[in-house]
Structure 1
Amino acid sequence: MQAAMDISAKYCQKELEAYGSCVASNPSKWQQKCHELKAKVANCTSSHPVIQKIRKDCSHEFVKFEQCLAENQDAPTSCSAHISRFLGCAETVDLSGVSKNPSS
């Protein structure tokens, strides 16, 4: 998972920072206000093989996390158990054979 986070930060830092700032600035309406920025992060990260593998292997946990966020827009921190399950899953993903550099 650390590799995926490093890759996300390396290739999508601008998008991640803008989205994070938007969410922090709009605690009760971040779903609506930050939708476009969320899409930009998703577009940026979806092209990397490591992140694609984690999303595929942990899609169930990620969907549950996003559902929790949608149901708790005024209290996103109440979804910490969901994100923990997703991160736990991501730690177990077998990344052997996955190119960590998409240009190679």
Structure 2
Amino acid sequence: MEAALEVTARYCRSELEQYGRCVAASPASWQRDCHSLRLGISRCASAHPIVRRIRSDCAEPFAAFERCLQENEAAVGKCSEHVAAFLRCAEQVKVAA
């Protein structure tokens, strides 16, 4: 895992884990049921420069991933290529010196 993902996991681990558990437990209604947890990740991420940079530099692949999730609410596994594209982008983001 690259530095950017490590920072995200380090500072927002609890939020990410809670959201992941919620999505897995609510395959048909995760968007509604897990909305507040998703907001928690956003609040956490907005506090860290590397995460803000990833959100900026990788906005397009992340938006594609979110669209895929919305279109495949009951089959989120269909979005694995979108996840991979976002992760490839995030791994290339560097913190400005």
- Structure 1 residue aligned with 2:59: 59
Q: 3-state SS of the aligned residue for 1:95?
A: coil
Map residues 1-104 of structure 1 onto 2, 5 A cutoff.
2-97=2-97
Question: 2-side partners of 1:68 and 1:81: how far apart?
Answer: 10
Q: 3-state SS of the aligned residue for 2:28?
A: coil
Q: CA deviation at 1:81?
A: 0.8
Equivalent residue pairs, number: 97
Residue type at the aligned position of 1:66: E
Percentage identity across paired residues of the two chains: 46
TM-score of the two chains, using structure 1 as the length reference: 0.84
Higher relative contact order (CA 8 A, sep 6+): 2
Q: CA deviation at 1:10?
A: 2.1
Q: 3-state SS of the aligned residue for 1:7?
A: helix
Contact 2:5 2:90 in 1 (8 A): no
Question: 1-side partners of 2:63 and 2:55: how far apart?
Answer: 10
Distance 1:91 1:6, change over 3 A: closer
Residue type at the aligned position of 1:87: L
CA RMSD, 1 decimal: 1.4
Q: CA deviation at 1:96?
A: 4.2
Q: CA deviation at 1:95?
A: 2.6
Question: 1-side partners of 2:3 and 2:94: how far apart?
Answer: 12
Question: Structure 1: where are the runs of 5+ without partners?
Answer: 98-104
- Runs of at least 4 residues of structure 1 off by over 6 A? none
Q: CA deviation at 1:76?
A: 0.7
TM-score of the two chains, using structure 2 as the length reference: 0.89
